[in-house]
Amino acid sequence: MNWTVQSQSALSDAPAPPLLLQAAWDAVRAREAWLRSPFFPALFSFGSYLAACAPFVALDVLSARLPALQRYKIQPQASPSAGLLAACLARSLFDHLVCVFPVTVAHWYWRPVRLPERAPEAPRLLLDLGAGLLLFDALYFLWHLLHHRVPWLYKTFHKVHHKHVSTFALSTQYSSLWELLWLGLFAGLVPVLLRCHPLTEMAFFVANIWLSVEDHSGYDLPWSTHRLVPFGLYGGSLHHDLHHLKFKFNYAPYFTHWDRLFGTLSPAGREEPAPAKATKD
Ligand SMILES: [Zn+2]
Ligand SMILES: [Zn+2]
């Protein structure tokens, strides 16, 4: 992860950021030595991923003892075993060591971290965050569609991610190194293209990881993002679980507009009776 800095002249003309964001940014900058460490990007990436997965792994463990939780599972019959969770975790750790860490160190070397004094304005942070998620969604949609439409690309690079036909949080990053590198490239490129403040970049990175894990959580919870965003604009875990089950439809990771435009949005309801409850909105 590399953080660009806005010009001092532009910052000096900007209105003062809200106290809350400045306090948060000051707290981040107080750990400057950590932020400047070549280890930080890979640790931040892996730590954010584990933190996002933890509540869903806890739900998986609890749901085995509390049947009431099963009603929130998209495929109630499918539950990852402890061995499967451990294997996915080990693979993620290995991928971060052999792939994410070397790439982020190279990035850190070529584009050293710089940290401006001022926090971003809150509306600007929210605007950039929304724009960043939309841009990432578009980039991954195109990549994903291409890797399903070209059989060689699917078999060589994307098939690994489709090993699990029922999703669970730790299956999020169960992918080929090729796919992980492209996802990392998109996630790193988006804040640079949008000239995001470093705090916005952190927020985008965490939100992106959370949403990708929620996509693969296998749960349809009352507070899931697709239930909070109106008008069916957001697909989320229901749409992505169906993608894993059917190997088609719903190529965009988050929003539904690209699949609507390309005619690849799943029809209402699952195509055939799923061993789960009726899931589609
Ligand atoms: Zn796919
Ligand atoms: Zn997936």
Ligand 1 centroid from CA 158, angstroms = 7
Residue 246 in domain? yes
Ligand nearest to the CA of 154: 1
Ligand 1 centroid from CA 245, angstroms = 10
Ligand 2 centroid from CA 112, angstroms = 32
Its pTM stands at 0.86
Give me the pLDDT at residue 147, please.
97
Is residue 167 very low, low, confident or very high in pLDDT (cuts 50, 70, 90)?
very high
Q: Give CB contacts under 8 A, 24+ apart, made by 265-272.
A: 265/235, 266/239, 266/242, 270/242, 270/245, 271/246
Ligand nearest to the CA of 241: 2
Give me the pLDDT at residue 104, please.
87
Ligand 2 centroid from CA 144, angstroms = 10
Question: Amino acid identity of 47?
Answer: G
Ligand 2 centroid from CA 145, angstroms = 13
Residue 279 in domain? no
3-state SS, one letter per residue, for 221-279: CCCCHHHHCCCCCECHHHHHHHHHHHCCCCCCCCECHHHHHHCCCCCCCCCCCCCCCCC
Q: Which two tokens stand for residue 15?
A: 């209105």
CA 66 to chain centre: 28
Domain hosting 101: range is: 20-262
Is residue 272 very low, low, confident or very high in pLDDT (cuts 50, 70, 90)?
very low
Ligand 1 centroid from CA 277, angstroms = 23
- Tokens 């809150």 sit on residue: 122
Ligand 2 centroid from CA 124, angstroms = 30
Mean pLDDT of the chain: 88
Ligand nearest to the CA of 157: 1
Residue 8 in domain? no
Ligand 2 centroid from CA 156, angstroms = 16
Ligand nearest to the CA of 240: 2
Ligand 2 centroid from CA 30, angstroms = 36
Residue 13 in domain? no
Question: What's the residue count for the chain?
Answer: 281
CA distances in angstroms from 253 to 37, 248, 249, listed in the order given: 31, 13, 11
Is the torsion defined by CA of 144, 150, 154, 156 positive or negative?
negative
Helices (H), the chain: 8-13, 19-29, 32-35, 40-63, 82-95, 101-110, 122-149, 151-153, 177-193, 198-215, 225-228, 236-246, 257-262
Is residue 70 very low, low, confident or very high in pLDDT (cuts 50, 70, 90)?
confident
Tally of CA atoms within 13 A in the half-sphere of 54 that contains its CB: 7
Ligand 2 centroid from CA 253, angstroms = 8
Average pLDDT for 148-175: 95
Ligand 1 centroid from CA 147, angstroms = 7
Q: Which two tokens stand for residue 62?
A: 């609890």
76-80, 134-138, 143-147 — which is least confidently predicted?
Answer: 76-80
Ligand 1 centroid from CA 251, angstroms = 7
Q: What's the number of domains the chain is made of?
A: 1
Residue 141 in domain? yes
Residue 215 in domain? yes
Question: Amino acid identity of 97?
Answer: L
Residue 40 in domain? yes
- Tokens 């705090």 sit on residue: 199
Q: Is the pLDDT of residue 9 over 80?
A: no
Give me the pLDDT at residue 268, please.
67
d(CA 111, CA 58): 38
Ligand 1 centroid from CA 154, angstroms = 8
Buried b (16+ CB within 10 A) or exposed e, 208-220: bbbbbbbbbbbbb
Average pLDDT for 228-255: 94
Ligand 2 centroid from CA 177, angstroms = 14
Residue 62 in domain? yes
Give me the pLDDT at residue 276, please.
40
Q: Tell me the pLDDT tens digit for each residue of 14-50.
A: 556 567 899 999 999 999 989 999 899 999 999 999 9
